[in-house]
Amino acid sequence: MRVLGIETSCDETAAAVLVETGVDARPWEVVSSVVASQAEIHREWGGVVPELASRQHVRDICGVMEKALADAKVTLDDIGAIAVTQGPGLVGSLLVGVSFAKSLAWARGLPVIPVHHLAGHIESLTLAHGELPLPAAVLVVSGGHTSLYLVSTPGEYRLIARTRDDAAGEAYDKVAKLLGLGYPGGPIIDRLARQGDDRAIRFPSTRLTHPDRNAPGDTSGGLLPPEVARKIDFSFSGLKTAVLRFGRDAQAAGEPLSDEFVADVAAGFQRVVVEALVDRTFEAARWLNARSVGIAGGVSANSRLRAEAEARGAKYGIPVFVPPLWLSTDNAAMIAAAGLRRFRAGTPSDWAFNAEASLRL
Ligand code: KG4
Ligand code: ZN
């Protein structure tokens, strides 16, 4: 069967065609994947403007779907089901994809499968590498999310830890904005950090250890010992504020923000983010006896994160999987994959669902 995937949760309008291979170890193949990025539109504002994003999705969605079908050399007659991102994300953006997918499916008499965006990111790993050795500890780290899942059975995702405030990618984007570097900030900071001294400035790393701090201590539902579960959540807003203060102090002191200074800030910031992500992911993975570690989402493109995760994996004998760039940032192939997984697991077509900004997985 061929599945059409639709993704509009943030600022990318995407459609893709996926085909089943019949091979258990590598169940699907991407036939086409089209992504219309709105980065140019939002760059001017230093971040995604929700209203502009939804309007642009409306303009782009038909053409993006048509191109996905044309690239795959198929027509709608060859499609057996439609998968669409239901949430989480910007509700106006999500609504465009959900309404489009439902209308199309209804008109063509096809099943429509709602997909959680993070299930899509997790399945991008299966698309790229085939089924991972299970159980797998999978970190989804993007502009909107920083969540760690345990996958023990294909298609079952158990939340182990998540950020209590900013997502890692969001911290990258905000730090880049305050350094005047442009949007999205992740790739720019990644590049600049290579020229900087990561020890020149010591930014703080946050560990949420107090049991009464804001959210419930144990997200893992008893999978981790309480003393580990309590400190495994992520937090990046304190780091972001520290970088902001540091930058302001430097400006107030009359020091020009030299290229060298900016590179050192980028390197120091990146070191703290990557250490937090790698330390906690592997700490959880070892407690959970994970046979593999996966890192998905836009920030998985980060060169230091990849290198350090691979080094840590080698040290502990746990293989590390990261998707190629085109599957790590938002795309519809991963949504089609997660949808196909649900469909084959017997999830019936559902017409009652709606876009949900804060959908839980
Ligand atoms: O998965 P994604 O395309 O969208 C969301 O679902 O959020 O992730 C986008 C995020 C942005 O915050 C961007 O700055 C970040 O991924 N990003 C990176 C890198 N490339 C993209 N962050 C750090 N290093 C990179 N090389
Ligand atoms: Zn995403």
- Please report which ligand is nearest the Cα atom of 327: 1
Question: Is residue 46 within 6 Å of ligand 1 at its C-beta?
Answer: no
In whole angstroms, give the CA distance from residue 100 to residue 5: 11
Instruction: Using 70 as the pLDDT threshold, list the residues of the chain that sit under it.
Output: 209-220, 255
Quick one: residue 62, left, alpha or beta (phi over 0 = left, psi -120 to 50 = alpha)? alpha
54 C-alpha to ligand 2 centroid (Å): 16
- What is the predicted pLDDT for the residue at 214? 55
Both ends of the chain: CA-CA distance in Å? Answer: 26
Predicted model pTM:
0.94
- What is the predicted pLDDT for the residue at 225? 85
Mind listing the pLDDT tens digit for each residue in 114-132? 999 999 999 999 999 999 9
| Closest protein CA for atom 3 of ligand 1 | 329
117 C-alpha to ligand 2 centroid (Å): 6
Mind listing the pLDDT tens digit for each residue in 204-225? 888 776 555 555 555 667 788 8
Question: Is residue 218 within 6 Å of ligand 1 at its C-beta?
Answer: no
Tell me how far CA of residue 261 lies from CA of 197, 201, 338, in angstroms. 9, 9, 43
Question: Is residue 217 within 6 Å of ligand 1 at its C-beta?
Answer: no
- What is the predicted pLDDT for the residue at 170? 93
44 CB contacts (<8 Å, ≥6 apart)? none
- What is the predicted pLDDT for the residue at 216? 52
Question: Is residue 141 within 6 Å of ligand 1 at its C-beta?
Answer: no
In whole angstroms, give the CA distance from residue 137 to residue 23: 23
93 C-alpha to ligand 2 centroid (Å): 13
- What is the predicted pLDDT for the residue at 43? 84
Strands ordered across the beta sheet of 320-321? 158-162, 146-151, 136-141, 292-296, 320-321
Mind listing the pLDDT tens digit for each residue in 258-289? 899 999 999 999 999 999 999 999 999 999 99
Tell me how far CA of residue 168 lies from CA of 93, 161, 272, in angstroms. 22, 13, 11
- What is the predicted pLDDT for the residue at 257? 80
| Residue 82, burial from CB neighbour count under 10 angstroms (0-12, 13-18, 19+) | buried
187 C-alpha to ligand 1 centroid (Å): 8
